[in-house]
Structure 1
Amino acid sequence: MLRQFLRPFLRDRFLHLLLLIGLIVSFFVPFAPARWPDAIDWHTIITLSGLMMLTKGVELSGYFDVLGRRMVKGFASERQLAMFMVFGAALLSTFLTNDVALFIVVPLTITLKKLCGIPVTRLIIFEALAVNAGSLLTPIGNPQNILLWGRSGISFAAFIWQMLPLAAVLVLSLLILCWFFFPARALHYQAREQQHQWKPRLVWTCLVLYLVFLASLELHVERWGLLVVAAGFLIVARNVLLNIDWSLLLVFVVMFIDVHLLIQLPALRENLPGVTQFSSGGLFLLGVGLSQFISNVPSTILLLNYVPPSMLLAWAVNIGGFGLLPGSLANLIALRMAGDRRIWWRFHLWSLPLLAWGMLVGWGLLTLLR
């Protein structure tokens, strides 16, 4: 049991890389480990922990197999199914946030591979890109929008209105790519999966715990909600807790600490105040570029110390979610859940061109809308 728990930590090369980066950077900034816990967004860590337990519970219940089998029967071709999943991921992310949307669609997508042989790696990449595109539409679609909306003082509808052109173009672009890169080949249902057994009791337990956890998040008592979820699985299905990729949580913890260390580098601390003098184009490029290396949420937090929560900043950091893997934490979640080593480099074959397209379209639309 201990070996099963430790195996992901020992094999996680990305975690090892983050630890190495943190070690190197710590030589160039004040060494104050006592401050590191304050750099971690514990709300995000707790939320991810609860969602990982709940989605793993549904996955091990076998219900995704049942749902996937019904979906396969409802679509005639790979193209139709792929476009449905990508659009569904984008839509869910607008009101469930990009991370939560991935916890729903990625396990379901992995199940589809067993039922119809659809190219899962490519589909998960498109879903990761879709939640980044869809979530930018609303103030509650992702963490950076929550921050920007709270600081801006504009209404919920006004925020959606300012983000609508960019979201529409990017989601439509992804659907067009789906049309060309997923064939119209007919889906063939694998009959040998028809007798699959699932566990209704575990599914209902997950549903009840999910509602409890959502309520705890709403009431800002998420720690108690997490304890209830963990206790529920200890009683009903302990194997759920053993099969979770706990190293993913450590990756996020180390990433927050790395960002905390990076922004203390003298070069950044001395030059960031000069951001207030940047032109619109310079600020746009900075928002996109900074997101590529420290992720768009920390970039938003950092830049809001120097510039107002404008439409330009909102578009820049959201476009910055595409491109390199660290651009958005949602990218990391999707690729880790895929469980395919090849997906890490394949992701960039799609995300980097989409970053370039997003920057071109975004700047063009901003120029037109001024």
Structure 2
Amino acid sequence: MSTVWAVLLLAAVLAFAVVRPRGLPEAAAAVPAAAIAIGGGLVPWSAARDEMIMLGPTVGFLAAILALAHLADAWGVFGYAGGLAARSARGSPTRLLTVVFGIAAVVTAVLSLDATVVLLTPVVFATAAAAGVRARPQVYACTHLANAGSLLLPVSNLTNLLAFGATGLTFLGFAGMMALPWVAVIAVEYAVFRWFFAGDLATPARPSPVEPTPAPRFALVVLALTLAGFAVAEPMGVAPAVVAAAGAVVLAVPLVVRATDRRRTALGIALSTNPLFCFFVFALGVVVLALRRNGLDDLIAALTPGSASLLGLLAVAGLAALLANLVNNVPATLVLVPVVAHTPALVLAALIGVNVGPNLTYVGSLATLLWRRILHARDEPPASAVFLRLGLATVPACLLAAVVALWVALKLSTVL
């Protein structure tokens, strides 16, 4: 019965996160569910406390990077990128898709997938309108690149941060090992998008004049220094959340000082950390822990191969992708990493699964849920059939390409 209750609690939390009745935040269901799990004896309070302490640095980074992305938007970084994309398209829908792919891949890698979904998606809508093209290929690219494009850096995704310690790699070592899989996934996604959206891309563009937007040099320099700070600070034991927070402070201070209403501006920056969403992540971790303690850990351990051969890497990535679409990619990471932590290569394969796999269903990742919410808010809801067909066309091919690329990278690392 404990297992049944744990499954029901997690299912209720994920269903609420997808539906969000009356626009209520995800935490409205997750926090009570976590309390029920603790109060009902599914998770001892001490274990729940330890889980939240473990998640603390990751959630802290989430809050800091959301604020950093919000401030980058306030400085005009995303508007500048959109204008650059519209001008670069020169009336070609295919060229615009190519530019959006490049921008989304970079934004995801540097500012995390949430920035791509929350801030770049609205810009892409406006950019497509200015370029006079159908927005559907570019908008779907935002969610696919947010997930699949988050393989490159430890800071690109919460899943990466959760697993980073288990890889035994440095910041730059992680980037070096995942660079080839990252490129492979983006190449496969781009090829499939060109085929899948051929009709949209063949529609003639009707561009509108786009005025050049000055580059926000100060913000771009701060973002570049923040990215460099991630690499420099990690060997010294400085948490990525501290570096992201420092970058956010540097961008925030001039905005607050120049603001007419400083208190309101400061409050807006504080709220951009999305505290309710952070509570949701904490609570989700506790709910997942209840399921892990009541049978899921044993089941996953029995299914997970221990070999880092090509077949073993493929099996772990496939299992991770399946689990992400069943319970969401953050819980899937929490479940899988302890099981494969004995072999860093398997940890990297698991990350491929939990980052690429969520492009198959809405519940696969928190970022996809946020993307879906944004489209509904614009009265342009995504078509579930299109989302599923696109996922079926991309996810298996991307998993195979990324795992093979990882296997090659591992072989090269042993040679070099």
Q: TM-score, normalised by structure 1?
A: 0.71
Match of 2:206 among 185, 188, 191: 188
Measure how far apart 1:112 and its partner are: 1.0
Measure how far apart 1:304 and its partner are: 3.0
- Counterpart amino acid of residue 382 in structure 2: I
1:11 is aligned to 2:9: no
- Counterpart amino acid of residue 167 in structure 1: W
Measure how far apart 1:99 and its partner are: 4.1
1:43 is aligned to 2:80: no
2: CA distance, partners of 1:151 / 1:89: 27
- Counterpart amino acid of residue 86 in structure 2: V
2: CA distance, partners of 1:216 / 1:364: 31
Aligned length: 355
Q: Compared with structure 1, are the counterparts of its residues 216 and 257 closer, same or farther at alpha carbon in structure 2 (3 Å cutoff)?
A: farther
**1:206-230, CA deviations, whole angstroms, 9 ceiling, x for partnerless residues?**
5687679779875654556656655
Q: Compared with structure 1, are the counterparts of its residues 124 and 347 closer, same or farther at alpha carbon in structure 2 (3 Å cutoff)?
A: same
Match of 2:361 among 312, 324, 341: 324
Match of 2:382 among 327, 343, 358: 343
Q: Compared with structure 1, are the counterparts of its residues 149 and 210 closer, same or farther at alpha carbon in structure 2 (3 Å cutoff)?
A: closer
Q: TM-score, normalised by structure 2?
A: 0.65
- Kindly indicate whether the alpha-carbon contact (under 8 Å) linking 2:63 and 2:275 is maintained by their aligned counterparts in 1: no
- Counterpart amino acid of residue 288 in structure 2: L
- Counterpart amino acid of residue 306 in structure 1: V
1: CA distance, partners of 2:179 / 2:221: 35
Q: Compared with structure 1, are the counterparts of its residues 347 and 25 closer, same or farther at alpha carbon in structure 2 (3 Å cutoff)?
A: farther
- Kindly indicate whether the alpha-carbon contact (under 8 Å) linking 1:65 and 1:111 is maintained by their aligned counterparts in 2: no
- Counterpart amino acid of residue 253 in structure 1: F
- Counterpart amino acid of residue 73 in structure 1: R
Unaligned runs of 5+ in 2: 1-19, 412-416
Aligned to 2:349: 315
- Kindly indicate whether the alpha-carbon contact (under 8 Å) linking 2:143 and 2:371 is maintained by their aligned counterparts in 1: yes
- Counterpart amino acid of residue 353 in structure 2: I
Aligned to 2:5: none
1:30 is aligned to 2:64: no
* CA root-mean-square deviation: 4.6
- Counterpart amino acid of residue 398 in structure 2: G
Q: Compared with structure 1, are the counterparts of its residues 334 and 301 closer, same or farther at alpha carbon in structure 2 (3 Å cutoff)?
A: same
Unaligned runs of 5+ in 1: 1-7
Measure how far apart 1:85 and its partner are: 0.7
1:356 is aligned to 2:396: yes
- Kindly indicate whether the alpha-carbon contact (under 8 Å) linking 2:125 and 2:135 is maintained by their aligned counterparts in 1: yes
- Kindly indicate whether the alpha-carbon contact (under 8 Å) linking 2:82 and 2:123 is maintained by their aligned counterparts in 1: yes
Aligned to 1:286: 319
- Counterpart amino acid of residue 255 in structure 1: V
Structure 1 residues 179-218: aligned runs within 5 Å: 179-180=194-195, 181=197, 182-191=200-209, 218=233
Aligned to 1:5: none
- Counterpart amino acid of residue 336 in structure 2: L
1:255 is aligned to 2:255: no
- Counterpart amino acid of residue 87 in structure 2: K
- Counterpart amino acid of residue 343 in structure 1: P
Q: Compared with structure 1, are the counterparts of its residues 136 and 122 closer, same or farther at alpha carbon in structure 2 (3 Å cutoff)?
A: same
Q: Compared with structure 1, are the counterparts of its residues 64 and 275 closer, same or farther at alpha carbon in structure 2 (3 Å cutoff)?
A: closer
Match of 2:258 among 205, 219, 236: 236
- Counterpart amino acid of residue 354 in structure 1: T
Structure 1 residues 75-224: aligned runs within 5 Å: 75=89, 76-94=91-109, 97-100=112-115, 105-138=120-153, 141-145=156-160, 148=163, 150-153=165-168, 163=178, 166-180=181-195, 181=197, 182-191=200-209, 218=233, 220=239, 221=242
Q: Compared with structure 1, are the counterparts of its residues 186 and 282 closer, same or farther at alpha carbon in structure 2 (3 Å cutoff)?
A: closer
The DSSP-based 3-state class of the residue aligned with 1:188 is coil
2: CA distance, partners of 1:253 / 1:293: 21
Q: Compared with structure 1, are the counterparts of its residues 177 and 136 closer, same or farther at alpha carbon in structure 2 (3 Å cutoff)?
A: same
Aligned to 2:296: 268
How high is the sequence identity, in percent, across the aligned residues? Answer: 20
